[in-house]
Structure 1
Amino acid sequence: MPVIRQLPPDLVNQIAAGEVIERPSSVVKELVENSLDAGATRIEVDIEQGGARLIRVRDDGDGIAPDDLPLAVASHATSKIGSFDDLEHVASMGFRGEALASVASVARFALTSRTRQGEAAWRLEVDGGRMQAPRPAQHPVGTSVEVRDLFFNVPARRKFLRAERTEFAHIDDLLKSLSLARRTVEFRLSHNGRPLRLFKACADDAAALARVAEVLGEDFPSQSLRIEHAAAGMRLSGWVGLPTASRAQADGQYFYVNGRLVRDRVVAHAVRQAYADVLFHGRHPAFVLYLELDPAGVDVNVHPAKHEVRFREQRLVHDFLFRSLHEALAQTRAGQGVATVHAEPEPALASAAGMGYADAPSSARPAQFAQSRLSLGLRDEPLADYAALLGEPRAAALPLPAADAAEAPPLGFAIAQLKQIYILAENAHGLVLVDMHAAHERITYEKLKAGRACSNLRSQMLLVPLNLSVSAKEAAAAEEHAEALAEWGLELSRSGPSTVVVRRIPALLEGADVSQLARDVLAELAQHGSSRRLQELENELLSTMACHGSVRAGRRLTVPEMNALLREMEATERSGQCNHGRPTWVQLSLGELDRLFLRGR
């Protein structure tokens, strides 16, 4: 057996570099995070050949004292922690003290720095782990780090570098994410001598949103919701994209914990559940979210590159994120964001104030509606009374907003029905198109959910109890959460170290695969401490019922019925999307219509 021996420092650093330095963007991440920890307000990043030839990061931070320069590139030397208590309350971006030592061991490295009290700057050079003595240099207050010929002494690592464009794209994406983490810092990025990015420091929320738009696209601000919620010692802020602005890839998701960009399964699961009722299958939401909590409540020391964290109160964080996002998305309604426009009421409408639009005499109806009914040959008696499907009064009898309010509703007033599929409405901004089946499906679905919430859930006793073999962790979860599951109508009891018995299921789910249902619920309980699988399955059933109970395409509605449907949409939660995540309405402004017809050119 080989003799046990101590590894030389340069080999230790190269092994550490293999964990921390995956590619040039990893170097940029470590250097920029050091600049942020040094209190920099301006950071410049210069790249050559995708980072393989040169990475230079310059900041205006506090700088490093001359005597500390050799320690800065020594293994496990840091100014950010000094004891185990400090490790329990990490508030800085970096803390391991191995990044510069790792970088310097696989590149030609130079560190130049000047403190605010220093009369001159000092420069330290390291060539593949061989350190030279510090010497005076010219440099303003702050620090510059140059990394040349990355992996020059590790050819096996260097040949794994991708094309120059690919490596620079990773650096560009990284700087975007860091710019969102610190909005008060100015970031500059250049490649091969060409300036490419400039993120100016943000003085207010408007400037911060403009920076978000630079990263996620200029349409994101108008297609997002502002989040601001605090509870249980945590604060969540930022922006979440509307379901209708979802993406094919999960490339527009930025989540920060105490200023640190992380990828976390608890966060991903909470976000996915919050969007479950409104997002089209296979689509991904875009968001920029900031979670702030006590540093003692999160362990950042679980990944060499600090990409992941571990929450000490995992279930509490999950529930907080889910409820905050779920409630915010629930407030989205069709027509939201369309400004209400005040206009002088038409005399005919003013005389009909206080009565439903459909109840007003034909002489009191706007001329454009009467004209559309005549030109399209619509009949007064409806062929499809959509509200009757829910056992409610006729849609034509539902009152519209009082005419004397002189306010055009967000979705405007119906003017026609196209191919018995779409409702055409006119509002102050132009033309509104509504998919009548999708819209009514959401309305019906929300009413069914509200009805279920107001009544006690009935459970169905299984004729023969079902015995299931599960993991010991899942069996323990069944025992721990037995009362909570019973409230949803699912009766599970632990019958052994790794077995459970299912005796009841919710009556709504009669006919479901009981074995798979129980396994899904226990798997979520074991992993996340909570499960919404029962509620999701019931929602799927209610969604199917709503789909079959909604007005179908190909059914003709009267103008009053169409207007009643528009008013219901404006009052219903999540009515901007149907149950399957498809949009229920679109707005075409007069400007967009003018462009279609080349007006004004």
Structure 2
Amino acid sequence: MIRRLPPELVREIAAGEVIASPADVVRELLENALDAGATRIHLELWGGGRDRIVVADNGLGIPREELALALEAHTTSKLTDLARITTLGFRGEGLWAIRQAGRVRLTSRPAHQLGGATLTAFQEEIQLEEHPAPAGTRVEVTALFHHLPARRSALESPAAEGRKVVQLVARYLLHRPEVALRLVVDGEERIAHAGGSFAEVAKLLWGSVVANRLLPLEAAEGPFHLRGLLSRPELSRPRRDRLFLALQGRPVEWPEPLLQVLLSAYRELLPRGQFPLGVLNLELPPEHLLVNTSPDKSRVRLISPEPVLGFVGRAVQGLLSAHPLARALPEPTPLSGPAPVSRAAFPRLRYLGRFRELYLLAEAEDELYVVDQHAAHERILFEELARRFREEAPLELSHPELLTLGLGEEMSYAERAEALAEVGLCLEPFGPGTYRIRKVPAFLAGHPSLIPEVVKGSLGAASFQQAWRQVLARLACLPAIKAGHPLAQASAQALLDTLAQCELPWVCPHGRPTALVMRELELARRFGRRGLRAVERARVEKT
């Protein structure tokens, strides 16, 4: 028999959908403060949030006559059109759900209002009092889930819940560095930021060693805007736990297509299984996003994603091509100062000599470069092969080769036949499970033994682009200059000059660095030269 649920059970279920932990309370209140235009936010957490949560801001405030309405279900000043959402909050359920989960004391005053007011609410109990108050809003939540023992017992320890809140607040601060924010946990100040830049927040939260290896990114194309920080290739992690995205100012999980575009821009700059660090704010016209897809609003969906993906890909590739990415030798330390001065592309290197018949020594301005001749030549040959792969017409084989495919490979070919034909690889059926290879990319014509491997690799890899890159990298490695191969001065200089013209000169196709760099100032410091300041002054005058 279908029956209506009692009102108190409806309230408990609805509150649990939005407010399941102290971090959920903080998120809702923090988003309200940011939506209100706050430039200063003060947060307090006591007992992991079970006992007391305070969020105070200097935002627009709520008129006294609207305080009671603000805590009703599905009331909001933000939502006008679900298709054009531009605020962090929009469903009008946050304050009401908090009211169902704990005791709320809401104090607010708009700047234009002479006096403020405080609304104390717990479930159906409401009490309003008027009094003087500073402009802005202060929300205090106490006794969280005190009347819901099952939900309260599901919480982790106060320390664990407190860590979640600190991580949450740090995430919002990374995306909104211009906001002055202070977080106090059980009377101890955990975060104190006076407002500033992305780099200043990264230094506060991640330390100067990490912050000094982050590159600032700012790009715009029409209505699309992207700002933030991304790490130099020598700084990476085996997890994505420090790679953050906000869309329209809202911290969200990475939509998978957007994440893949970012990672493809790094390509072989990073070892397999490693991820860059960074924080990105992406602003799009609201009609490009569907944001109401999960209770905690952490997941979004891109509508017509192609223009967005193209913009982000170009922005990240442009960032990486505009900075010198040679890895420092030795690795930077806090005493080394900030990472390399920004300048376009690979520097013009002047050959100095060789070491161990493998490493080329060269200089550029105030830096000493050590270049691996094999890795450098690999990169040059790889990009030449890739150019031929893109530009040269495929060749039709005079004697088509036969190839046997398994059931899974046949299914994969059926899905990828059109894409493979576009890159010059054409098969035709020749009996059950057998295919004739009719056309291949021109660069494979001289390597018939690799053709079956290429075909099967294209069908079995996660993507056929990945398979092609592996083949190109292998072909580039075979003829590349080996260790011990003598190079005349002119040949060595020509190698350096050609490397500088590469699209991605900083790494070989397998992800190993082609060059390491040591700054002149680092040499002076490590030799303990008293003329360190003079060296720095001379460098500044030269630039």
Same fold (TM over 0.5): yes
One-letter code aligned to 2:288: G
**1:281–1:13 CA distance, 2 compared to 1 (3 A):** same
Distance 1:587 1:511 in 2: 41
Q: TM-score, normalised by structure 2?
A: 0.81
1:14 corresponding residue in structure 2:
12
Q: 1:116 aligns with which of 91, 102, 111?
A: 111
Corresponding residue for residue 211 of structure 1: 201
Question: 1:236 aligned to 203, 216, 226, which one?
Answer: 226
The TM-score normalised by the length of structure 1 is 0.74
- CA shift in 2, pair 1:512/1:148, >3 Å: farther
Shift of residue 298, structure 1, vs aligned partner: 0.6
Is 1:178 aligned to residue 172 of structure 2? Answer: yes
Partner Cα separation in structure 2 for residue 228 and residue 40 of structure 1: 24
2:266 paired with 1:268: no
Amino acid at match of 1:241: S
Q: CA-to-partner distance for each residue in 1:103-129, whole Å, 9 max, x for gaps?
A: 2222232111112232222112233x2
The answer to whether 1:487 aligns with 2:422 is: yes
Deviates more, 1:31-40 or 1:267-276: 267-276
Any residues of structure 2 matched to 1:146-545 within 5 Å, and which?
A: 146-202=140-196, 207-219=197-209, 222-231=212-221, 233-263=223-253, 264-330=255-321, 410=347, 412-458=349-395, 463=402, 478=415, 485-490=420-425, 506-507=440-441, 508=444, 510-512=451-453, 517-518=458-459, 533-545=463-475
Residue identity opposite 2:39 in structure 1: T
Choose from 39, 42, 46 the match for 1:41: 39
CA contact (8 A) 1:335 1:410 kept: no
Distance in 1 (CA, whole Å) between partners of 2:170 and 2:395 is 51
**Structure 1 consecutive aligned stretches of length 4 or more whose deviation exceeds 6 Å:** 459-462, 464-472, 501-505
CA 161–443 in structure 1, closer or farther in 2 if over 3 Å, else same: farther
CA apart distance, 1:186: 1.7
Distance 1:320 1:485 in 2: 25
Give the aligned CA root-mean-square deviation in angstroms.
3.6
Q: Percent identity?
A: 33
Post-superposition offset of 1:68 = 2.0
Equivalent of 1:53 in 35, 51, 54: 51
- Between the aligned partners of 1:149 and 1:459, the Cα distance in structure 2 is 76
CA offset at residue 46 of structure 1?
A: 1.4
CA distance in 1, matches of 2:193, 2:427: 55
Asked if structure 2 preserves the Cα contact closer than 8 Å seen for 1:466 and 1:502, the reply is no
Using the TM superposition, give the Cα deviation of residue 308 of structure 1 relative to its aligned residue in structure 2, in angstroms: 0.8
Change (3 A) 1:303 1:187: same
2:90 counterpart residue number: 95
The offset of 1:17, in angstroms, is 3.1
Task: Name whichever of 320-329 and 293-302 sits farther off.
Answer: 320-329
Structure 1 window deviating more from structure 2 (281-290 vs 31-40): it is: 281-290
CA distance in 1, matches of 2:323, 2:479: 23
Amino acid aligned to 2:135: V
SS in 1 for 2:31: helix
Aligned amino acid, residue 280 of structure 1: P
What whole-Å deviation, never above 9, does each CA across 1:267-307 have from its counterpart, x for those lacking one? 11222222223221111012322222210121100011111
**1:386 match:** none
Residue 508 of structure 2 corresponds to 578
CA distance in 2 between counterparts of 1:339 and 1:125 reads 55
1:63 maps to 2:61: yes
**Other structure's SS at 2:111 match:** coil
> Offset of 1:18 from its aligned partner?
2.6
User: Would you say 1:551 and 2:481 are equivalent positions?
Assistant: yes
Superposed displacement of residue 519, structure 1? 7.2
Shift of 1:221: 5.8
Q: Which moved more, 1:323-332 or 1:456-465?
A: 456-465
Is this contact kept in 1: 2:356–2:484, CA < 8 A?
A: yes
Gap change, CA 1:548 and 1:464, over 3 Å in 2: closer
Aligned length: 504
Q: Structure 1: state its 5+ residue gaps.
A: 342-408, 494-500, 522-532
Question: How far apart, in 1, do the equivalents of 2:129 and 2:410 lie?
Answer: 63
Gaps of 5+ in 2: 328-338, 429-434, 445-449, 533-543
- Matches of 1:424 and 1:29 in 2, distance apart? 54
Give 2:541's aligned residue: none
Shift of 1:146: 1.1
Q: 1:470 to 1:147 in 2, by over 3 A?
A: farther
Task: Spell out, residue by residue over 1:560-581, the C-alpha distance to the aligned partner (whole angstroms, 9 max, x if none).
Answer: 4444433333332221222222
The CA distance in 2 between the partners of 1:266 and 1:210, in whole Å, is 30
